[in-house]
Amino acid sequence: MRLNALHATALAAGLCLLIVLAGPGSPRASSADDSGVPLLEDRNESGDGVIMGSESEIDELMALQYLGWSPVENGTEDKHGVELNLEGAYPGYNLYNDDDGNFAMLLDMDGGIVNVWYANLTPYPRRGWHHVEYADDGLFVIVKDRALMKLDWDSGVIWNVSMQPHHDITFGGDGLIYALDRTVDRVNYSSHEVPVLADYVTVLSSDGEKLWNISLYALLGGFVSNESMDKLLEHHLDENVTHNANSGPYYDVVHTNSIEYLDRDIPGFCHRGDLLVSTRMLSIIAVVDPVRERIVWLWGPGVLDYPHHPTLLDNGNVLVFDNGFHRRYSQVLEIDPLTLEVVWNYTGTPPNRFHSMKRGSAYRLPNGNTLICSSDQGWAFEVGYDGSVVWEFYNPHLKDDNESRAIMYRMARLEPEMLGLS
């Protein structure tokens, strides 16, 4: 069975409006559990009520119909599946899921289907899958704002824990799992209580038991500017805005979107066990010491533009997907975290050929190539260090007479040994 046979797969979708954002100096959040503010699992099923970004960005995002689909670019209407597989591509298996879709796929380098995991075999058949990771002989699934699951090869549930996970998880050398989690907290600002989405790291055992959590909002909320908070408060007090205790709106002023466990000491940058995170709305990537609960390294404001997916490379540098929301083109940067020098970058030709306003990922492969997912374009491609494209994939899930393509969240290249397929 080839991938092209799955064009008719039904995909879950939901519109998420975006309103406030970024800069230094804002208040801390009070405890949600003690204050009676509802958790995100009490929201309506559509996910409405989450608000981030500026008012002009709301109009832009609504006009682009962010419902898990993006307009197909001119000249790519007939492209689907693997369109390029040159000798220089790094061999392996490709794992991806459509953003808020209801399945995950594992493909070989030619686009042949190796395995499919299905949501309809789990306790959440109609909830969107935000992100998937394969580790420890199982597929870890983030069921957005609902649960974290571990599935076996046949989509059977190994364990399932109720929480409000989103965006990303990472695995520690100590066997622990670190998941991005969130709840609704109240922030006291100008004598008013304003509901915000407060990001946490929830730490779990290898069998899914929740152990403790760390507030990322407490560490990063202070970088939200007073100007942004003023705009947020103005919207919150607008008598024309309908407020509901269960459905919001809630204000996503930090929007942590990536987390990675750091596996080594690099003097001046990190220690083994620290966490590398990124925040879209603050344009910050940072290293967090989870034991002392403090930031030990931070970079990005004035350079990055709504970034995603920073990763630590074998050479000690950091690779990051820089979306370019305002710049109108994306780039992948490799930076030296000690000198803050950009030592490598990739942009499209022309630059706006490669642009994902939201989402996105970049993985450095063992042969030095980089696997990039331009999520909003439904396009993944592998480039050499010289920028030459050696492998290319277009999401084959199309609709509206091939005018809309399903958005991919990330694509990862997995070794056969990791999957037991060697």
Q: What is the pLDDT of residues 173-193, one digit of tens each?
A: 889 999 999 999 888 888 888
Looking at residue 72, its pLDDT comes to 94
Q: What is the pLDDT of residues 387-422, one digit of tens each?
A: 999 999 999 999 998 899 999 999 999 999 999 887
**244 — pLDDT class (breaks 50, 70, 90):** low
Looking at residue 48, its pLDDT comes to 34
Looking at residue 186, its pLDDT comes to 86
Query: For every residue of the chain, which 3-state class applies, written as one string?
Result: CEHHHHCCCCCCCCCCCCCCCCCCCCCCECCHHHHCCCCHHHCCCCCCCEECCCHHHHHHHHHCCECCEEECCCCCCCCCEEEEECCCCCCCEEEEEECCECEEEEECCCCEEEEEEEHHHCCCCCCCEEEEEEECCEEEEEECCCEEEEECCCCCEEEEEECCEEEEEEECCCCCEEEEEEEEEEEEECCEEEEEEEEEEEEECCCCCEEEEEEHHHHHHHHCCHHHHHHHHHHHHCCCCCCECCCECEECCCCEEEEEECCCCECCCECCCCEEEEECCCCEEEEEECCCCEEEEEECCCCCCCCEEEEECCCCCEEEEECCCCCCCCEEEEECCCCCCEEEEEECCCHHHCCCCCCCEEEECCCCCEEEEEHHHCEEEEECCCCCEEEEEECCCEECCCCEEECEEEEEEECHHHHCCC
Q: What is the pLDDT of residues 34-48, one digit of tens each?
A: 333 334 443 333 333
What percent of the chain clears pLDDT 90, i.e. is strictly above it?
67
* Sequence spans of domains, the chain: 3-419
Is the pLDDT at 375 greater than 80, yes or no? yes
> Which pTM was predicted?
0.84
Looking at residue 43, its pLDDT comes to 35
Looking at residue 376, its pLDDT comes to 95
* Stretch among 21-30, 47-56, 134-143, 224-233 having the lowest mean pLDDT: 21-30
What top-level class would CATH report for the domain 3-419? mainly beta
